[in-house]
Amino acid sequence: MQQETSDPNTASATFAAGCFWGVEHFFSDVPGVLSTAVGYTGGTTRNPTYQQVSRGNTGHAEAVHLQYDPNQISYETLVRLFFKMHDPTTRNRQGPDVGSQYRSAVFYNTDSQKQTAQAVIRQLTAERAFAGGIVTQVAPAVTFWRAEEYHQQYFKKTPGRSCHIDFCPTMLE
């Protein structure tokens, strides 16, 4: 697992929910999220490139690593937003993007984060919040490899692009 920051006012979370451009854009607008970075995690290739990951044979997922202020937003709220902003019932696919690099995953840093993610999944399953079963992977955070710079804040750099994520402000309510 990755180590949590020693600053008590900052914590980190890592989520994979399809193409990382939209996931980052979504989380960057969440109050309490201090910073975001897109990259690759959960695979076996050291320091992978976008080209390697997009071929689907590195084991990595496109993911977003974020720093947040736990005094402003809880990890549970971030997990609930994660489930609200993508389809956790499709294995290795989000929208038009297909492959294990587009899987739904929560990469936890602490046992508390693991327990929180699993509890949210249990609750959503019991509530039948989704028509299909939740296939989201809950796995320990391993090395997060920052993606190439042109991928960082992609939607802020290239407005008007399409995405599998609904950026409607009511998503944050």
Residue ranges making up the domain that contains 150 = 11-158
**Is residue 146 in some structural domain?**
yes
Could you tell me how many helices (H) and strands (E) the chain has, helices first? 5, 8
Q: Kindly state whether residue 94 falls inside one of the protein's structural domains.
A: yes
**Quick check: 162 pLDDT over 70?**
no
57 vs 43: CA distance, rounded Å: 9
134-144: pLDDT as tens digits: 999 999 999 99
pLDDT at 169 over 80: no
Catalytic amino acids?
19
Residue 171 in domain: no
CA torsion sign for 163, 169, 172, 173 is: negative
Is the residue at 79 inside a domain?
A: yes
CATH of the domain at 62: 3.30.1060.10
Percent of the chain with pLDDT over 90: 68
Does residue 59 fall inside a structural domain?
A: yes
Number of domains in the chain: 1
pLDDT digits (tens, 9 = 90+) for 46-72: 999 999 999 999 999 999 999 999 999
